[in-house]
């Protein structure tokens, strides 16, 4: 049984994510998951087998903080070294329109195996645009509330107390999003090719044209035409 879509080098490929985006994305994935596991040790408070992995409750707290700093550094790295991609990403989100709404409405049918005709999508489809807003917002809430909880002496007591439920809710909602997103970005048969875009940087040209027609035509179709002229 094959879990991931096969990586095909014999079929023309186009670039989807540059090296900075990929380093940030996988750096975030690793630090997010470590923060989640160590955070759960603190959250569940009584989950001894999980705590043992990190050398007890204090160990989990320490690993949580180290991973949290790593996560923060990846955000700083992304903003400093990948301004253009960040700006292009935000601009793409502002293109949210009717085609994205139709995509989101039809996606559950496609997911269940029905044949549907999706309208042309930009670099990020309607679902990915939603993920691009919700998940980074949850991460930002986790980061802000996390540092306030870490240094309670600097902040008013009511704010520190408020940060605990905020941190917990952002963890629950963020984890729910990451579970769906992780599956769609890897094992899901229809969109599995996107995994290679985030892993190796490129996706199959025919897949790009089919799944992200607007983005493909704006970035690659014209160049193809120039080459053939
Ligand atoms: C920059 C990012 C983050 C910082 C600075 C941070 C900081 C903290 C701190 C200081 C605590 C309290 C630890 C203690 O009581 O000893 C905590 C708890 C916790 N963190 Fe984070 N954290 C961050 C990211 C995350 C992420 C990404 C997750 C999960 C996806 C997460 C989940 C949790 C959970 C579940 C708790 C337990 C809260 C409770 O006891 O109610 N944290 N975090
Ligand atoms: C669990 C394993 C994960 C896998 C397999 C995965 C896979 C992917 C893939 C393949 C893409 C590119 C989709 C495209 O072509 O547009 C992507 C994009 C993205 N990922 Fe992940 N990811 C994972 C975890 C995470 C985590 C932990 C976060 C944040 C905390 C995250 C945040 C994002 C965001 C914001 C995007 C851009 C929006 C989108 O395409 O949905 N990912 N991911």
Q: Whose CA is nearest to atom 5 of ligand 1?
A: 146
Tell whether the model's pLDDT for residue 125 goes beyond 90: yes
Quote the domain boundaries for residue 207.
Answer: 83-229
How many Å separate Cα 32 from the centre of its chain?
10
Question: Domain tally for the chain?
Answer: 2
The reported pTM is 0.93
Does 87 fall in a domain?
Answer: yes
Give residue 87's pLDDT band: very low, low, confident or very high (50, 70, 90): very high
Cβ–ligand 1 distance for 74 under 6 Å, the answer no
Does 61 fall in a domain?
Answer: yes
How many whole angstroms from 167 Cα to the centroid of ligand 1? 7
What pLDDT is recorded for position 139? Answer: 98
The percent of residues above 90 in pLDDT, for the chain, comes to 83
Does 95 fall in a domain?
Answer: yes
Does 2 fall in a domain?
Answer: no
Tell whether the model's pLDDT for residue 97 goes beyond 80: yes
The answer to whether residues 172 and 188 belong to one domain is yes
The answer to whether residues 75 and 88 belong to one domain is no
The answer to whether residues 76 and 180 belong to one domain is no
Does 174 fall in a domain?
Answer: yes
Give residue 185's pLDDT band: very low, low, confident or very high (50, 70, 90): very high
Task: Write the DSSP assignment of 9-29 as a string of letters.
Answer: SSS-EEE-S-HHHHHHHHHHH
Higher-confidence residue of 189 and 123: namely 123
What pLDDT is recorded for position 191? Answer: 76
Query: For the chain, how big is the Rg over CA atoms in Å?
Result: 20
> CATH number for the domain including 220?
1.20.950.20
Cβ–ligand 2 distance for 25 under 6 Å, the answer yes
Does 63 fall in a domain?
Answer: yes
Query: What 3-state DSSP class applies to 116?
Result: coil
Does 5 fall in a domain?
Answer: no
What pLDDT is recorded for position 196? Answer: 96
Q: Whose CA is nearest to atom 34 of ligand 2?
A: 132
Tell whether the model's pLDDT for residue 49 goes beyond 90: no
Residue for token digits 């160990």? 59
Domain end position, chosen among 29, 60, 81: 81
How many whole angstroms from 161 Cα to the centroid of ligand 2? 31
Does 219 fall in a domain?
Answer: yes
What pLDDT is recorded for position 2? Answer: 64
């Amino acid at each position: 049984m094959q879990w991931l879509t096969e990586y095909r080098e014999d079929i023309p490929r186009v670039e989807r994510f540059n090296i900075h985006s990929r380093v940030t994305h996988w750096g975030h994935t690793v630090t997010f998951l470590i923060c989640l596991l160590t955070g759960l040790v603190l959250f569940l408070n009584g989950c001894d087998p999980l705590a043992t992995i990190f050398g007890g409750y204090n160990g989990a707290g320490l690993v949580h903080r180290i991973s949290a700093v790593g996560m923060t550094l990846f955000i700083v790295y992304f903003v400093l070294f990948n301004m253009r991609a960040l700006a292009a990403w935000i601009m793409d989100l502002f293109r949210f329109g009717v085609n994205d709404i139709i995509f989101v409405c039809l996606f559950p049918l496609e997911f269940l195996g029905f044949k549907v005709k999706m309208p042309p999508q930009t670099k990020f489809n309607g679902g990915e645009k939603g993920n691009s807003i919700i998940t980074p917002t949850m991460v930002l809430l986790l980061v802000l509330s996390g540092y306030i909880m870490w240094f309670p002496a600097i902040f008013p007591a009511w704010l520190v107390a408020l940060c605990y439920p905020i941190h917990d809710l952002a963890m629950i909602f963020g984890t729910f999003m990451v579970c769906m997103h992780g599956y769609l970005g890897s094992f899901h048969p229809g969109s599995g090719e996107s995994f290679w875009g985030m892993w190796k940087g490129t996706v199959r040209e025919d897949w790009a044209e089919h799944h992200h027609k607007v983005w493909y035509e704006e970035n690659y179709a014209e160049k193809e035409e120039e080459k053939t002229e």
